[in-house]
Structure 1
Amino acid sequence: MIDQVRPSQLPDWLADAASGGAVPVVLDVREPWELQAAGVKPEGFELVAIPMAQIPARLGEMDSGRPVAVLCHHGARSQRVAMFLAQQGFSRVANIAGGIDLWSAERDPGVPRY
């Protein structure tokens, strides 16, 4: 089961995930043009951007022992990537439900909606 974490709940998830000593990762799987349209500021996490289609080829760049919360536009792509990561042995994975769109509404209204 993949944790579903709303952007407003992310600080609590990050704090819990970091209790094991590893800095959590927010994996943004949106396309480069989407990253230019709207982005998040790393606060309590490392931000890594890898487009969804590149995840399998770039899996070796990631540490399966670190907690990962996956972000996309609305939450569908990130859910698929989170499930893939869990199948690849990542021990702590969450989907950021509602994606960057809900991030703007709940957490940072300065993030543009597109």
Structure 2
Amino acid sequence: MMNLVKTVTKSCEVSGEELHVMLNLRAQKRLDFVLIDIREMYEYSESSIRGTDILMPTSTIHQHMDELKKLANKLLIFYCHIGGRTTQMIFILRRMGFSNIAQLSGGIDAFHGEKLKNAPFPKNIRS
């Protein structure tokens, strides 16, 4: 389990299969991380990954940097539609000193675990 986390943080990427395993481990309280959707609210409504902790659209993310800094001690996994926005996000956060971060490679399109349609927004919505 720790090898998976080290691999993820070193590469800054997690595959859809790895995220599925990680979500199952988290459900068993054997792993702790924060899953953050950086798509816009309408995209989240169309499809989201079960287990998303925070919806923080890229259009508002600059307003929430202090909140992200408070979570820096946890593994933060970001996802978007296909990976373009998260690639930029990871680059920016790395330059700001974040090291415990990763992106879902290929975005939500590459995730074959449980997805929700028209899911209620997470309690931790940042808009």
Which of residues 4, 26, 41 in structure 2 aligns to 1:32?
41
Q: Please give the TM-score of this superposition, normalised by the length of structure 2.
A: 0.68
Q: Deviations over 1:52-102 (max 9, x none)?
A: 121122111122221111100001101111221222222211110111111
Instruction: Tell me what 1:69 maps to.
Output: 77
Q: RMSD of the alignment, in Å?
A: 2.4
Matched pairs, number: 102
What's the secondary structure of 2:53's corresponding residue?
strand
State the 1:2 CA deviation. 4.8
Question: Does the 8 Å contact 2:83/2:106 carry over to 1?
Answer: yes
What's the secondary structure of 1:94's corresponding residue?
strand
Instruction: Tell me what 1:85 maps to.
Output: 93
Q: Aligned equivalents of 2:11 and 2:54: distance in 1?
A: 19
- Which sections of structure 1, spanning at least 5 residues, go unmatched? none
Instruction: Tell me what 1:55 maps to.
Output: 61
Task: Identify which range, 31-40 or 85-94, moves more after superposition.
Answer: 85-94
Which of residues 76, 79, 100 in structure 1 aligns to 2:108?
100
Identical residues among aligned pairs (%): 24
Q: Aligned equivalents of 1:88 and 1:36: distance in 2?
A: 30
